[in-house]
A and B are shown apart, each in its own frame.
Chain A
Amino acid sequence: MIELRFHGRGGQGTVVGTIIMAKAFFKAGFEVQSFPVFGVERRGAPVESYVRLDNSKINLRTNVTTPDHVVVQDRTLLQNIDITRGLKPGGWILINAPANDKDKNRYASFRVAFIDASRIALNYKLGTRTHPIVNTAMIGALARVLEMPPLEAVAEAIREDIFIRTEDNIKAAEEAYRTVLL
């Protein structure tokens, strides 16, 4: 079983991102689970959401405490949250930011990948100028980092769940898939 933890802020589409990712994995033949950190959502506050995937039925119904990989949708979270909490050694940390040595060195015991998802979201006019919705770019990048699910599955899942600027969201995922820095 593989467990993914997404960190974001309320309003960035973090929970929706994990749901779409779970659906994409399901389309690729996996059994999946997705759920947010159980609580009360507030705009701008730190949010966590999870994906579990496995080749067989998932019976574990608890919070995710030891994720295999972590996605950080908002770099400002690195200052106040330990995004490596429980992260398995060697796991990926995918950060929404231009590549930089500072983050890379800070998380040297893990594998760090960068995607400038905010720039991509702004280019495709996803969300507003001050609050770009980066979730589709992040999951496009994650599909490349994990080498699964196939990009087509991600696109199909986006098409099913996102009804506003659907094609632009798919393009954002595709661009992120191509440009993520591993």
Chain B
Amino acid sequence: MRRVIEGSQAVAEAVRLSGVQVVSAYPITPQTHIVETISDYCEKGEINATFMRMEGEQSCLAALIGAQAMGVRTFTATSSQGLAYMHELLHWASAARLPIVMAEVNRALAPGWNIWTDQTDSLAQRDTGWVQIYCEEGQEVLDSTLIAYRLAEKVNLPVMIVLDAFFLSHTYEPVDIPDEDEAHRFLPPYKPQFRITTADPRSYGALVTPADYMEMRYDISLAMNDVFLQLDDIHAEFSSIFGRTYGPVEALNCEDAEIILLTSGTITSTSRLVVEKLRKQGEKIGLLKARLFRPFPVDAFRNNLKKARKVAVIDRNCSFGAGGIFAQELKAALCNDDVKPLIYSYIAGLGGRDVTPDVIEDIYWKTKSADTPEQESVWIGLKEVSHGR
């Protein structure tokens, strides 16, 4: 049934439908309504799970690592500083091959204190072995959370569902909430591929010498590559049950586009309006939305960028000293390829600054008028400031 709910609640509804068994949370800012709603459901008995209120985010993930190893479905949610605090255990979760699902609301890191949206928190975790899926609207958030469990449990890797703070987490909009039967048809109860049990005692997390460690890491790498294949199947099955279609990327008007905007998160939605407007004016503009970031969907990008002359990547994040992160990754992915559009890198909307249709249009015109890209990322909409020099 379609109901008007918040992006945060869309996550909570999916978690309710997933039949989750253990949820952990540290309930203070930068936390969102996600775990507040889930704790309410646990209290009312609408979710039959153990809700663990921890003393910090590091403990949240530690608790789930323990629970998941026992063979139950788990969930947690966090943001910014909370995710940074989890960093050590993010590696642990993936290397222990535990299919934990986490919702991560993109919020800027401090100082200065800022609770608004910014992707640097999640993108800074790109090397931790977690699958990352970026969402643009409430429906996609709900659907992707269900998809995340299927994927995680298939490849034995943890999955992060990523959504923009406020523009998505705190925005109410209509979302189709599946009924329980439908959801269970897509996501049946969890059957762990391995679990700790006294019936079959084994040692986990033991010392691994140079003789074996590398193969364990190669296994993770293979599992990441397997995500592309598995996710295609899961997306197809999802579509057959719910009628909504997803892919690692989504392309809009890319077939004949000369300039393609590459976006992620809610900037994508607003960019759709810009593409529609400029197309009407005869501009050959296209839009490529990056939904999957880890693993990085090189083939999907390459296929959609074949005919484009230029790509304008809009990054709401920054790796200081290297620039916009989606732009860097795209450059790296295409550097040995035949498909080589010019890649223009823009940084916009950090710390929740609004990325309006005008801002996006400005990026398009800048890209169109410049024959070659700047060496470094171009920061959009900066005020005149003295940099203390």
List A residues at the B interface (Cβ < 8 Å).
Answer: 19, 22-23, 26, 31-36, 38, 40, 58-63
Contacts and interface: CB of A to CB of B under 8 A. Distances in A.
A23 B2 CA distance: 11
6 contacts: A26-B174, A35-B167, A35-B171, A38-B116, A59-B270, A60-B270
Contacts of B165: 38
B170 A38 contact: yes
Interface stretch (B40-48, B307-315, B353-361): B353-361
A62 B173 CA distance: 14
B316 to A, nearest CB: 12
A40 B115 contact: yes
Interface residues of B, number: 24
Contact of A33 (B115, B171, B354, B356): B171
Contact of A62 (B168, B174, B355): B355
A32 B115 CA distance: 25
Nearest to A161: B4
A34 B167 CA distance: 10
A40 B172 CA distance: 18
A63 B354 contact: yes
A34 B4 contact: yes
B236 to A, nearest CB: 24
A34 B172 contact: yes
A54 B309 CA distance: 35
B272 interface: yes
Q: Is the interface of B mostly helix, strand, loop or mixed?
A: loop
A101 to B, nearest CB: 37
Interface in B141-173: 165-168, 170-173
A148 to B, nearest CB: 16
Contact of B170 (A22, A35, A62, A63): A35
A60 B357 contact: yes
B354 A62 contact: yes
Given A35-B171, A59-B269, A26 B4 contact: yes
A16 B167 CA distance: 17
A62 B164 CA distance: 12
A61 B171 contact: yes
A40 B170 CA distance: 12
Nearest to B113: A40
B270 A38 contact: no
Interface centre among A34, A35, A36, A60 (most CB of B within 10 A): A35
Nearest to A25: B4
Contacts of B173: 31-34, 58
Contacts of A19: 4, 172
B219 to A, nearest CB: 39
A38 B357 CA distance: 19
Contacts of A34: 4, 171-173
Interface in B352-379: 352, 354-357
Contacts of A36: 170
Contacts of A62: 167, 270, 354-357
A157 to B, nearest CB: 9
Contacts of A32: 4, 172-174
A22 B270 contact: no
A55 B168 CA distance: 21
B266 interface: yes
